[in-house]
Amino acid sequence: MTKKLGLLGRIREDIQVVFERDPAVRSVWEVVLCYPGFHALQFHRLSHFLWGKNWPVLARCVSHFSRFVTGIEIHPGASIGRGFFIDHGMGVVIGETAEIGDNCTLYHGVTLGGTSWAKEKRHPTLGDNIIVGSGAKILGPFTLGDGCKVGSNSVVVKEVPENATVVGIPGRVVLDEQQRREQKDSGRPDLEHGRLPDVQARQIAQLTETIQRLEEQVATLLAERKQG
pLDDT tens digit sequence for 149-205: 998 889 999 998 888 888 888 888 876 555 555 555 544 445 565 566 666 667 788
Ranges of residues in the chain with a pLDDT under 70 are 1-3, 175-201, 228
**Would you state the pLDDT for residue 195?**
60
| 68 beta partners | none
- The residue extents of the domains of the chain are 7-197, 198-228
CA neighbor of 165 nearest in space, from 146, 143, 180, 152: 180
128 in Cβ contact with 104 (< 8 Å)? yes
| 112 beta partners | 94, 138
Domain 7-197 has CATH 2.160.10.10: yes
**Would you state the pLDDT for residue 182?**
56
Cis, bond preceding 124 (omega within 30 deg of 0):
no
**Would you state the pLDDT for residue 78?**
93
**Would you state the pLDDT for residue 137?**
94
- The amino acid at residue 206 is Q
**Would you state the pLDDT for residue 65?**
95
**Would you state the pLDDT for residue 224?**
79
The span from the CA of 74 to the CA of 64, in Å, is 9
| 149 beta partners | 131, 165
210 in Cβ contact with 202 (< 8 Å)? no
The span from the CA of 97 to the CA of 122, in Å, is 6
CA neighbor of 153 nearest in space, from 110, 106, 194, 114: 110
The span from the CA of 140 to the CA of 122, in Å, is 6
Q: How far is CA 56 from CA 41, 99, 152, 187, in A?
A: 18, 18, 33, 47
Residue-averaged pLDDT of the chain:
85
Type and span of the H or E element at 38 = helix 36-52
Based on C-alpha coordinates, what's the Rg of the chain?
Answer: 23
